[in-house]
Structure formats: C-alpha cells, structure tokens
Amino acid sequence: MKNIKNKLGITLIAAGLLLGCNPLQLDEIQDPNNPSVGSIANDASPQQIQFLITGLESRHRGYVTNVSQAWNTFGREIWYLNASDPRFQTDWLGQNGRVPDRSYFGFGNTGGGSWAAPYQAINQADILQLAAANTESIPESSKSAVIGFAKTIQGYQFMIPANFVYSNGIRMDVSDPLNPGPFVPYAQALDQIKTILDEGFQALGAAGSGNFPFTLTRGFNGFNTLPRLQQVNRAITARLNAYRQDWQGVLTALDGSFMDLNGDLNAGPSHPYGASPDIFNPLYYVPNAAVNTIIVVHPSVLDDATPGDLRVQNKFFERTTPVVVTTDAGALEGTHQDARWPSNTAPIPFIRNEELILLKAEAHANLSQAAEAVAAINIIRNAAGLGDYTGATTTDALIDEILYQRRYSLWAEPWGHRWIDARRYNRLDEIPTSYDGGTIFTEFPHPQAELSWDEYVGGN
C-alpha cells in the first residue's frame, strides 16, 4: 500500500464544523497537505476523491491490532503477553477481580481499534460520500461506485463497536462528529447496518458492471470490479445476518457473495501491509525470537485440537523456548506462536471463503436443513484432514460441530469470532479460565469520553 499513510488527505473533524459560540472554536488554518472538509465538499477533483479512497482503505485496517489482541484474548484464543505492561494480561483477562469500567484499559492508547478507529473510518466514508455526491468532476456512474464502496466499508466498521459494547448500544448517526445521534440498541444497530450495506450494494449495481473507476490497493486484487465489490458487500452482509439470526438472509447474501464451495478457502479481500512509509503487518512475530511481547496460542486451543488437524500444523509454531511473563496475578507461559504470516508485509484477510462456507453450514443447521449443513461442514473438515462428519444431525449437535470448526478455521482472525460466537449462543461459560484464573467479559461499557461529551453538550 504505497504511501497510504501520506494519502489520508482529510482531517475528519474540521475546525470549520465548530459553532461560533463554541469555546473550542479555532482560527481557520490552511494546510495544503491536509485539506479541510470544506475544500472537498464542493466540486472535489478526481485526485482528491482518489486520496479519500486510499485514506479510507488505511482507516479500514485501523482496528486490526487492538481487536486481534484484545477480543481474541477475551475469547481465550490467544494470550497477548507483554512484559512491559501487565495490564494486557491482568485487565484483559479480568484477573484479580479486575472488571471493565468507563476508563477501562483498552479504550485509550491501545483500545482505539475497538472504538475510535472504526468511527474514524466511518467518518472518512461519510466525507468520501459527501465529496463524490457534490462534484461535477466525475460521472454519475463513478459517484455511485464511490458511494457503494464507502457504504460497504461503513457497514463492516459499524459492526466493530456494536459487538464491543453489545447491549449498551452504539451511535449510528455520526455524520456530524460534534453533534452525534443517540445510542441505539444492538438489534436496532444491526438492522441499520443492514440498510447501509444494502444501499451500498445497490449503489455498486447502479454504477455498472466494469472496473471500479478509481484505484484500490492490492488488498482488493481480484475484487476491484463492480460485480466483485458487490460480492464482498454480500459476504459482509452474510456475517451481519448471522448476528441478526436471519438465517435465510444469510443464505441469500451468500448466494450473491464470492463464496465458492470448491474454491480456495483463503480467497477474499485483505488489508495490505508494507515497508515505510506504509506500516508492517502488526500480527507478525519472528519465529522463535527472544521476545517478551508476543501473541501466543492459548493452551486450551492446543488441548482441544483434534489429532491430525492440519490447521494446527499450519497456524501454530512451537517455540524452542516458551515465553513466560509474570504479573501480580501469576505467570503465563506461551509455548506456541502464530505461524500464519510468512513475513512482516503479508496481507491480513478481513473476510474469507472459509468463513462463508461455515456461515452456510450454520444457516442450514438453524433452518433444520441437516444434509446441506453437513455437506458444508465436510468441506471444512476435509480441508483440515479430518474426514467427513459422522456425528448426530440434530440442530444442537450440528451447531456444536460448526462452532468447533469455526474455533480452528477462524482462529485469532481480526474479529474475535470465538468471543462473539460464544455470546451469540449463550456459551460464554464454556470459554475456559482455568489457565489464567480470569473472567469472561460479556461486553464493555461506553468510554467515559462518550458520556462526558454528552454531559458537555447538554450543559452548553
């Protein structure tokens, strides 16, 4: 992603948006390298639109580090061992009675990926749509394409804070960062996200059937035509519909996605990484390096693995010397590290064919279509070298099997699948804490800054 950090091209909260009576009012400063929202709100040039698109792709990956480290810790897929700051263990694992509060460690310097970064991407997409809608420099078909892409990314990003704070609800109306809308309940937020994704799908369709009219990074190689971007949109919608428990909706979305029952399980769009001025893959660690800050495989994942599972062989690297980090809550030992990334510039997929096939199995199981569910399960099992499924075909038994396969197929992906899956099926108590003596969190409160902002606005 060459020069992606230099192409953000926009300040998300511009001084010009502040009201004249607001004590935060600043004098307008012109910065040619970071143009104001006003400078692109009317008749943006194609080059400015391009900068905003590249910037949106950069914002789109802002969640990866924190969500991968934190959410996968909550679900005990990993431990994030960090000798420099024990809170990555004690607080994220809920050890010694630690519980999340509104100033909880993870919201600030390390937790932006769970809350702030998604909203930055959402706001970037709003600005991109504003610029595209109010310019005469590009044709209507290109405007539709840009708006469809922006809404697709917005739908993905809104699901991150929604699943982080869960029943506490999220703000959906954030087009004016200084006057955001109210928090809406989880189910309502998911329905509104569905609307955003559907609008994005329709806008991409209205743009035609050729190539996307602007340049996307290599993360979208193979998905940079309008029909393929529609398939990405439907893949994201399938994940969303599973959270909405709209099982027929999952299957309908999958039919329009890039799911391929006979295809590469790793196929899908990704977040690219590279050398400076870009950033390296934040999940890559040199095998066997003498470090005391690293993501390690949770011991229960090793304990519960089926002998001969190729995913275990391919994803986990056994270290010659384990990593041990001791805090006031005790010592944690990591014997295996992540082996998925061949280098520090390897891309990180954000939705893959393997997940889509598992979503198909889950939807069929919940619709009591056992034969179809088993057929999808067998694709995953055979790819892992486990052979066909021979267990019971009741809905409960199939869901047990699907959740087990998701645990290993989607291990430690930047989404926290196991934590969300266990919550969706009321199985948080099945996540083990015996190795760390911690707590399994159901959800997190809103950051104190959110409530303080409401109090400030209400008093002025």
Q: What is the pLDDT of residue 107?
A: 58
Classify residue 126: in a domain, yes or no: yes
Give the angle 166-169-173 at the CA atoms, nearest 5°.
Answer: 135
* Edge-to-edge strand ranges of the sheet holding 330-338: 78-82, 293-297, 330-338, 316-327
Classify residue 354: in a domain, yes or no: no
Q: What is the pLDDT of residue 210?
A: 97
Q: Count CA within 13 A, CB hemisphere, residue 351.
A: 26
Statement: residue 424 has pLDDT above 90: yes
CA–CA distance, 154 with 95 (Å, rounded to integer):
35
Q: What is the pLDDT of residue 42?
A: 87
- CATH code for the domain in which residue 159 is found: 1.25.40
The boundaries of the domain holding residue 8 are: 1-63+112-269
Please state the domain count of the chain: 1
pLDDT band at 419 (very low <50, low <70, confident <90, very high): very high
pLDDT band at 105 (very low <50, low <70, confident <90, very high): low
CA–CA distance, 238 with 252 (Å, rounded to integer):
8
CA dihedral of 417, 420, 422, 426, whole degrees rounded to 10: -160
Statement: residue 100 has pLDDT above 60: yes
CA–CA distance, 221 with 175 (Å, rounded to integer):
30
Q: What is the pLDDT of residue 274?
A: 96
Statement: residue 220 has pLDDT above 50: yes
Q: What is the pLDDT of residue 38?
A: 74
Percent of the chain with pLDDT strictly greater than 70: 89
Classify residue 313: in a domain, yes or no: no
What tokens were used for 459?
């008093």
Q: For residues 456 and 284, which has the higher predicted lDDT (pLDDT)?
A: 284
- What's the whole-number mean pLDDT along residues 100-105? 72
Classify residue 412: in a domain, yes or no: no
Classify residue 364: in a domain, yes or no: no
CA–CA distance, 153 with 122 (Å, rounded to integer):
8
Cβ contacts of residue 307 below 8 Å, gap of 6+? none
Pick the range with the lowest mean pLDDT from 96-105, 373-382, 426-435.
96-105
Q: What is the pLDDT of residue 17?
A: 28
Q: What is the pLDDT of residue 177?
A: 81
Q: What is the pLDDT of residue 452?
A: 80
Statement: residue 111 has pLDDT above 70: no
Classify residue 295: in a domain, yes or no: no
- The model's pLDDT over 227-282, given as tens digits with 9 standing for 90+, comes to 999 999 999 999 999 999 999 999 999 999 999 999 999 999 999 999 999 999 99
* Cβ atoms of residues 62 and 20 within 8 Å: no
Query: What are the beta bridge partners of residue 330?
Result: 327
Q: What is the mean pLDDT of the chain?
A: 91
Residue 223: which of 213, 214, 212 has the closest Cα? Answer: 212
Q: What is the pLDDT of residue 21?
A: 34
Statement: residue 460 has pLDDT above 60: no
Classify residue 294: in a domain, yes or no: no
Classify residue 306: in a domain, yes or no: no
